[in-house]
Amino acid sequence: MDLDHLDTTRTAYDAVAHSYAELLRDELSHKPLDRRLLDTFADMVSEGGGARVLDAGCGPGRISEYLHSRGLTTVGIDVSPTMIDIARRDYPALQFDVGSILDVDLADGSVEGVLAWYSIIHTPPKLLTVVLAEFWRVLAPGGLLLLSFQVGDERVRLEQAYGHVVAYDVYRLSPEKIVNLLRKRRFRVDIRLVRAPKGSELQPQAYIMARK
């Protein structure tokens, strides 16, 4: 398995971590639809009798903290050690670990929810089946998955981000292709939503909620 993208993504996010954390700290306050989706996710996980959620690609931890405020127990993982350091500093009561969504260090069926909030966008499409298999594995029966990503069908090479020189790839993804991959993995797709770009966003944004 070619994992070069992990090194480039890790290096890039280590470089931008502090700027990223400050820039996006209050992002949810300006995005009511995003908050509503996260609220719905939290409510549905809780209604299913669960409380433990994997925040897969947690970055500086702001979404973990939001879900925690909604009554969930979160486990955040990120490939960037610097992002994890910031998350642990800012939210010391929560659990954060360095880790990859390609190989999640959790037991089978150990979480009732998985959130991948714009974290699959750095995974080459040929490896998305591996990621979805990991999400399926760690989810308890009936567990809920929420994905978000930028809509498109191309690879974009970024050489500058958050005020820093970087070199990493972002993959814009087709909602239809993601739905097909989920169904092949035996997920039941409950919600598929695409919204128009907002603010500095260049692409439509997609959200897919599916159940194991």
- Domain definitions of the chain by residue range: 4-211
Q: Residue 3: what pLDDT?
A: 64
Amino acid at 70: R
Q: Residue 17: what pLDDT?
A: 79
Q: What is the pTM of this model?
A: 0.93
Better-scored residue on pLDDT, 169 or 67 = 67
Band of the pLDDT at 167, cuts 50, 70, 90? low
Band of the pLDDT at 137, cuts 50, 70, 90? very high
Q: Which CATH superfamily is domain 4-211 in?
A: Vaccinia Virus protein VP39 (3.40.50.150)
CA 140, 65, 146, 7 torsion-angle sign: negative
Alpha carbon distance 1, 18 (integer Å):
31
**Structural tokens at position 193:** 């939503």
Tens of pLDDT, residue by residue over 6-25, are: 778 887 778 777 887 887 78
Band of the pLDDT at 79, cuts 50, 70, 90? very high
